[in-house]
Structures are given as C-alpha cells and as structure tokens.
Amino acid sequence: MTHYCQSSGEAWTDQLEATLTFPRYFARQDYWRDFPPVHVLLRAIAVGLGAYRPQDRATEKKDAMATLRALFPGGKI
C-alpha cells in the first residue's frame, strides 16, 4: 500500500483502502512495468551508472541482530 501511494501520488485514506481492488492494483503494476515511477527510474539509472550501490540487506539484518544480542548478553532483558 505504501509503495502504491508513493508511486501514484495518491493519499493513503480509508476511501483508498476501501476502493483499491487487486485487479486495479495489478493493472497499475503492469503500467508501472512499462512506465516506471520517477523515483524507481532514477534509482535504476543511478545504480546503472555506478553512482549508487544498494546495501546488502542480508548483512544489514545480521548486523542488527548482532547489535541486539550484544545489548542483552545472556538473552535476558
């Protein structure tokens, strides 16, 4: 839902939640495959040109867990 709102520019409202159907959502996704939203397109260009390197999410999660474990040695809060 957040990606939909960010990409479409629509506000996340109760009315949107009530009226957004899967067929409508999938149709919008199909459209975005051919015509990506600006923020997705700019990120792809930046990655392609080497100006931006995405972080490795797996390493990020391991580091977060290691930090959390270090805060509570022995596993007790």
Which residues touch 32 (CB under 8 Å, ≥6 apart)?
Answer: 7, 40
Mean pLDDT of 5-29: 92
* Residue 53 pLDDT > 80: yes
* Residue 72 pLDDT > 80: yes
| pLDDT of the residue at 49 | 94
Mean pLDDT of 31-56: 91
Task: Return the amino acid letter for 34.
Answer: D
**How far does Cα 56 stand from its chain's mean position?**
14
| pLDDT of the residue at 25 | 92
Domains of the chain: which residue ranges? 2-75
Cα 44 to Cα 61: distance, rounded to the nearest angstrom: 23
